[in-house]
A and B are shown apart, each in its own frame.
Chain A
Amino acid sequence: MFIAAPSAVGSLDGARPKSRATEAIYAAGHWLLFHERVADAAEVFRVMLKVAPRDERAWLGLGQCHERISQPLIALELYGAGSIVAGDAVASSVRCLLARARILSKIGRDAEGALDEADAAAERTGDEQLIALVRRERARLS
C-alpha cells in the first residue's frame, strides 16, 4: 500500500500546514479522479496548483490525470516541476520523485537515477514511512 496515513499527510509538503480549504479541494479532485472524471479532476487540480503550489498532491493529482489519458511525458514534466516546487529546504518531494521513476519505467527509460534521488530525499527527511515507500517502490520496479 503506497497511500500515506492521514496523520502523515499534513507534513508531506514540509512547507506550511495545509488549510482546510486546500484539503477540501484535494478531496474533491481525488474523488473526481477515482470516479474516472479525469478532465474534471484536472480542472480541480489546476485550481489547487494555483492555491497551493507547494502542495505535492496537486502535482501528483494533475500528473495522474495526464497518465490516465496516455500523456506520460506531460505527467513526467509535472512530477519533475513538482519535485522542485513541493520540496522543502531539506529534500525534494519524495512522492513526486517516485512518480517520475514510475513513468520513466513505464516508458522504458532508466528509472534508477530517479529512484536514487527519491531514496536520498527520503533519507534526508528521516521519515520512516517515506523511506519504506521508496524501498517498496524500488522492489516493485526492479
Chain B
Amino acid sequence: MSTVSAVSAASAVPVSPDSPAQCAPSAPGDSLMPDPDMAALPSGDALSLLYFLESKDQNMSVDEGTKRIQGLQAERNQSLVQERQAIAKEDDAVKNRGFWGDLGNILGDVAKVAGIVAAVAVTVCTAGSAAPVAALAIAGIILSSASFVDGEFHVLQKLGVDPKAAGWVDTGMAVVGAVCSFGAGAASAGGAAVDTASNIGRAASVASGVTSMAQGATTIEVGEAQSECDDAGADEAQAVAQSADGMRFMQAVVSETESSDDSSKQIMATITVTKGIQNSTVVAAAMAVRG
C-alpha cells in the first residue's frame, strides 16, 4: 500500500461537495505555500519520500511529540472524568430543575473547552518553550479536525447531540479562534511576549465572560422557570437529555484529539511497512542483477 493510498484510507473526510469552485486547484503562482525543498531529498519519487519518513530523526521527533501529546491527553482525560462526575451530580439535581438550568450546564461545557485552549494560548506566549508550542499545535489540530469532521459529517448530531447543541460546539471553536486571533495580532503589533500573554489573557477573560453572562442569564431564567413551571415534566426529560448531550460534546472533543493521534500513528505504521517492502525489493533487484 502506498503512502498516498494509506493516507487516503486513514481519512474518510471528503471535500465539501457544496463548494466546487473552492476545490479548484490554485494557480501555483497564487499560493503562499513554498515549493517543497526537493534538493533535500535524493530524488522526487514517492518511494524516496517514504524512505525519509522512516528516518531515525523522524522517529525521534514523533516519539517526543507523542509523549507530549500523551501528557496533554492525560490531562484532558482527567478533566473529562471530573466533568463526568460533576455532570453526574448535576443529573441527580436536575430532576428538581427545569430546562433553563441544564442549558446553563451546556454553556458551561462550551466555556470549559474554550478555556482549555485559551489557557494553552496563554502558556505559549508566556513561556515560549517547546512543550507549549506543541500544545498550541494540538489546539490547531483540534480546531482543524473538529471542523472538518463536524462541518462535513455532522458527527455530533449522529452521536445524539441535537442541532442546537452542535451549533454551540462551533460557538466554542469560534471563541477559541477569537482568542488565538487576538493573540496573533497583539504579538505582531507589540512584539513582546509578556504583552501578548496579557492581551490573550484579557481576551480569554472576555471569552469566558461572554459565556458566564450567558450562564448568568440562564441562572435568572432558572428562577423564573422554577417559579413559573414546576409542572414541567417534559422539561425535566429534555434537561436530562441535554445533560447527556453535554457529556457527549466533551467526549467528542477529546475523541477528535485522540483520533488525530491515531491517524498519525497509522500513517507512520504504513510508512514502516512500506519501507520494509522497499528494502525487500532492493535486495531482490540486486540479486537479479547479479544473476
Give B13's nearest chain A residue, CB to CB. Answer: A39
Question: How far, in angstroms, from A114 to B11 measured CA to CA in the complex?
Answer: 33
Q: Which residues of B contact A26 (CB under 8 A)?
A: 36-37
On chain A, the residues within 8 Å of B176 by CB distance are 77
With A24-B52, A53-B136, A121-B188 known as contacts, the answer to whether A36 contacts B33 (CB < 8 A) is no
Given contacts A46-B264, A47-B267, A50-B138, contact A19 B61 (CB under 8 A): yes
> Across the two chains, which residue of chain B brings its CB closest to A124?
B191
Residue pair B35, A85 in contact (C-beta under 8 Å): no
Stretch touching chain A among B145-153, B206-214, B241-249, B281-289 = B145-153
Task: Kindly report which residue of chain B lies nearest to residue A51, judged by CB atoms.
Answer: B61
Contact status A42-B11, CB under 8 Å = yes
Q: Would you call A28 an interface residue if the criterion is a C-beta within 8 Å of the partner chain's C-beta atoms?
A: yes
10 A–B pairs (Cβ distance < 8 Å), ordered by A: A4-B35, A40-B4, A40-B8, A50-B137, A53-B137, A62-B144, A77-B177, A77-B180, A81-B121, A81-B183
Do A1 and B29 have beta carbons less than 8 Å apart? yes
Name the one of B4, B65, B143, B144 contacting A51, with C-beta atoms under 8 angstroms: B65
B contact residues, total (Cβ < 8 Å): 79
* Cross-interface CB contact of A69 among B19, B134, B173, B174, cutoff 8 Å: B19
Q: How far is the CA of A113 from the CA of B263 in the complex (A)?
A: 37
Select from chain B the residue with minimum beta-carbon distance to A65.
B144
A43-B263 in contact (CB<8A)? yes
Is B125 within 8 A of A84, CB to CB? yes
B residues near A, CB below 8 A? Answer: 3-4, 7-8, 10-11, 13-16, 18-19, 22-23, 25-26, 28-41, 44, 48-50, 52-53, 55, 57-58, 61-62, 65, 69, 121, 124-125, 133-134, 136-141, 143-145, 147-148, 151-152, 173-174, 176-177, 180-181, 183-185, 187-189, 196, 260, 263-264, 267-268
What are the 10 tightest A-B residue pairs by CB atom distance, in nearest-first order? A80-B184, A21-B58, A53-B137, A27-B36, A117-B188, A77-B177, A70-B19, A24-B52, A39-B13, A4-B34
Interface range for A: 35 or more
A residues neighboring B (CB under 8 Å): 1-4, 6-10, 12, 18-28, 30-34, 36-40, 42-44, 46-47, 49-54, 57-62, 64-71, 73-74, 76-85, 87, 92, 95, 97-100, 102, 113-114, 117, 120-121
